[in-house]
Structure 1
């Protein structure tokens, strides 16, 4: 129920639809009961059981409603016969049709209004979940599968709609239908109605016994679904490697093992869930059978119950079965939906350790330097950086070099505040970056990564991520600076050409130059290049290097490099080893020292 309360907050913007739904459901339940009761006058007329009554009966309150109804019917039929009209049967038919029409009309209206609420909640929940997904830090996803997150946004949210939100349809309509029906039954025969109260608690008890394991079973189904979606996502992303290594059978086996587990979990879950309907219906029919026996005695032997009223009573008793069955199924759905809600709320309730502080400041310019002050950092247990200190003055280019695992890329992650340092601090113009709004901090920086991260969209829209309000001329100018216009102008639709999933229609060098153009369009004062040329061939590297030099003019830059040929002109080169600074200086100074840097240079060939 705690999950249900948290999910219900998404319904607040649509509460007027909920009110209209409740009003419609009240009338639906009322006319649903009256539609059964309206059969009684028809039966009385058909059986010829109406007794002549010349005087209109007096209303003496609800305690006498059954007698009043029967007497008024007798009076109505007597009056019609006195008028010489034989249309009593037609009046009865119109009465029955009218009540059933009104019942179904309000039933439709109830569903009409609840549709806006259900789909509105679904939309808002997905939007909030997506916003939370992109706002949580990168560290949150380091051990999570993408497919699992996709499963939560798609199927888990849909499961919540089918389970929790179906309760909103039932929470008024079905209980009211049962209450109105039981009141009517009680007015017809109090002693016979006592048998009905045996059915509801017994049914509820048995159904609760069956449903206890549903949440656990449903959780397994949803986790497995997230797992095989991850396999699909990884397969599509690594299709070249899978085909190149003839590994199709390995991945097919992994996927089949997952779908086999999903098959078993789903069968177990659905078979348990499917018990709800038959169980409640069997219990209901059992009570109906007892009512037939007991009520039959009252009609045939004791003569204490009118045969027509007894038939109506049985219809009312059976009328309880449908809402009772719906409620029992809904209780199953809630248990099943609990698992989906738990998975969705796990993300929604996760507090980001990188949230802006309440008094975080906005910084619009960069005037002095970036200072990395005695920082230490670890992703898990082992320190990646130890007591690391570095100053990057405005307008200068600082290169970080070293073997893989020395902590170079970690510096980029910390300066952009994708992660927070464990010890020490990083400041810009003397202000700790933790005191700045993340959006403000990142607006001062442009980022070009080793992997060219592009999106399945046009060239123009990929570049506009740098500045969504830029004109076409500004986009083309950025492409020229990035040495990318030479191939973009020859594409079928120029800047409006779709580049495919992850830029799959382009070469590695072309993709990287588009990434640089995106950073150029943003025009930030600080540029961070994380091994921007390491994955390229020599020709592409030359073109990209020219683009980088164009972009870095008059900018402060931190360049993380694997290929040392790309950073010889840097103002300062910092050689890193195991998270610490091994040596630093200009290219010429470091060669003269005959130390770690010179060994790295000798290991690489220069052109």
Structure 2
């Protein structure tokens, strides 16, 4: 019920469809019963058992409307039989049956039409909200979750959740009302026979409920396994070159097959129970009908307490309970698997994002003075990656961070952009703590160029426009020129409109990196963060990219994280890091003179 309450806000925009669906389902349930009740007059006309009503009935109020309607019908049947013959009376009751079945199916269609709009609308809104939540979550969330599992929740679990919820809607309106109307009519025909039927219903319900045991836990495991195999697929496609170069196709195929085998076993187990629910409920219903035939047949043939035509209608009504009963049993199974999916979807929607803008966060569009990192400590798990780290970066200066892998250089970039938050200490821009700035405002002040050139399967132009959506073609070309990329782009078949393929795989590493730089140039932020921007490039590509970086950093505050020391020799200050602490700082010349850690790093790279 808690999960159902949480989906209610998604339904509210479509409450009109929900209300009409309920109204049409009520009418469907009513006419579903009336369509069988209409068989009674036909049977009575056929067997010449029609109750004679010779006086036109008088309406005596809403509480006696059922008897008034019944007497009115029999009055016309009696009149037609007497004046025109029984065949005309038969034609009348057949017409009534046709009309009731027509209305029943019309209301069924209208109910389905509204539930379709409701279902699709909720599915759309839920996926949009889930996607917005996914892209708002911090980077740290995805270091703990498999991307494939998140995709499975977006693609599969949302659909499962949606289907289960609307099964509940049908469950609580149409089918129960059909049963209620049918049972009420059965009581009006024979109280004794109806009570006899109800002796068997609890037994059937108990047997069916036993089938559903453990279904929710199995559904949770199946959905988790689905996320796992999508992860394998996503990782395999992303790392296809590595898979093939190491002849690891067999290993990944085995890994994928094992996951699929586990999923199939779980799906078969769940499917067996789902598939058994409907035929079992029908079989138990038929057993009830068979016992009813014996008991009711005795009432007709032996003690004559029930008319044959009435008994046939009663049997039709009893069978009419089977269809909604089957639907209820099937829906209850869907609800169990759907609630397992709901918990997986809601766990993301309800995940509390620790990195958000404060209520009264400040908007800042300019950088005027200094970035200060004061006594910060940071840890991903238990051990500190940065320890009492302090530096100041004046406006217009270039500060480089160097050191061995794992020294905490890239962590600084993650903290400056608030991909993560510091555990202790503070980072300020012009004296304002970055936690007090709006996230959009903070990131608007910064341009980020990472080691991995993250490009999208789109045109060069659209990739660069991420930096400034409303930029003109002339501005795009100018950014490409500054990034030292204009020449190779103009030589492509469609220039800036050329599609660069998945992750930019149609381009070389150096070309991709220069497009990343062009994107940052177009954004034109006052602060530039370069995180190992040239470490993945060959020497020739590095020269092109280095020229682009120097062009971009002119008259701009830059934080350069570098492994290759040749790229940072012109920096105003070089910070040498080791195990999260500053061991040396100064210009290139000053640090060489110290003959310490930096000098050793330079010597090692020169030797290499």
Q: TM-score, normalised by structure 1?
A: 0.97
CA distance in 1, matches of 2:369, 2:513: 30
Q: Does 1:93 align with 2:111?
A: no
Deviation at 1:58, TM superposition (A): 4.9
Deviation at 1:67, TM superposition (A): 6.8
Q: TM-score, normalised by structure 2?
A: 0.97
When residues 121 and 52 of structure 1 are mapped into structure 2, their CA distance, relative to the original with a 3 A threshold, is closer
Aligned length: 607
For 2:384, the equivalent position in structure 1 comes to 383
Greater shift after overlay, 271-280 or 485-494? 271-280
For 2:530, the equivalent position in structure 1 comes to 529
When residues 246 and 405 of structure 1 are mapped into structure 2, their CA distance, relative to the original with a 3 A threshold, is same
Q: How does 1:14-163 map to 2 (within 5 A)?
A: 14-50=14-50, 52-58=52-58, 71-84=71-84, 86-163=87-164
For 1:219, the equivalent position in structure 2 comes to 220
When residues 363 and 61 of structure 1 are mapped into structure 2, their CA distance, relative to the original with a 3 A threshold, is same
CA distance in 2, matches of 1:4, 1:204: 23
CA distance in 1, matches of 2:518, 2:68: 86
CA distance in 1, matches of 2:202, 2:364: 64
Q: How does 1:17-416 map to 2 (within 5 A)?
A: 17-50=17-50, 52-58=52-58, 71-84=71-84, 86-416=87-417
Deviation at 1:391, TM superposition (A): 0.3
Deviation at 1:205, TM superposition (A): 2.9
For 1:568, the equivalent position in structure 2 comes to 569
CA distance in 2, matches of 1:428, 1:371: 7
Q: Contact 1:385–1:578 at 8 Å: present in 2 too?
A: yes
CA distance in 1, matches of 2:127, 2:74: 60
Q: Contact 1:221–1:266 at 8 Å: present in 2 too?
A: yes
For 1:499, the equivalent position in structure 2 comes to 500
Deviation at 1:210, TM superposition (A): 1.9
Q: Which runs of 5+ in 2 are unaligned?
A: none
Q: Contact 1:182–1:193 at 8 Å: present in 2 too?
A: yes
Q: Contact 2:445–2:527 at 8 Å: present in 1 too?
A: yes
Q: How does 1:478-517 map to 2 (within 5 A)?
A: 478-517=479-518
Q: Deviations over 1:234-262 (max 9, x none)?
A: 10011101110111111011011111111
Q: Deviations over 1:73-124 (max 9, x none)?
A: 4432331244336422222221111110110000000000011111111111
When residues 368 and 107 of structure 1 are mapped into structure 2, their CA distance, relative to the original with a 3 A threshold, is same
Tell me, what secondary structure is at the counterpart of 1:425? Answer: strand
CA distance in 2, matches of 1:28, 1:257: 47
CA distance in 1, matches of 2:53, 2:453: 92
Tell me, what secondary structure is at the counterpart of 1:603? Answer: helix
Deviation at 1:62, TM superposition (A): 8.3
Greater shift after overlay, 226-235 or 295-304? 295-304
Deviation at 1:12, TM superposition (A): 1.1
CA distance in 1, matches of 2:416, 2:502: 29
CA distance in 2, matches of 1:278, 1:38: 28
For 2:11, the equivalent position in structure 1 comes to 11
Tell me, what secondary structure is at the counterpart of 1:465? Answer: helix
Deviation at 1:157, TM superposition (A): 0.6
For 1:555, the equivalent position in structure 2 comes to 556
Greater shift after overlay, 553-562 or 279-288? 279-288
CA distance in 1, matches of 2:276, 2:213: 13
Deviation at 1:606, TM superposition (A): 9.1
Tell me, what secondary structure is at the counterpart of 1:498? Answer: coil
Q: Contact 1:377–1:383 at 8 Å: present in 2 too?
A: yes
Q: Contact 1:214–1:273 at 8 Å: present in 2 too?
A: no
When residues 63 and 291 of structure 1 are mapped into structure 2, their CA distance, relative to the original with a 3 A threshold, is farther
CA distance in 1, matches of 2:62, 2:434: 74
Q: Contact 1:396–1:557 at 8 Å: present in 2 too?
A: yes
Q: Which runs of 5+ in 1 are unaligned?
A: none
Q: Contact 1:66–1:187 at 8 Å: present in 2 too?
A: no
Tell me, what secondary structure is at the counterpart of 2:426? Answer: strand
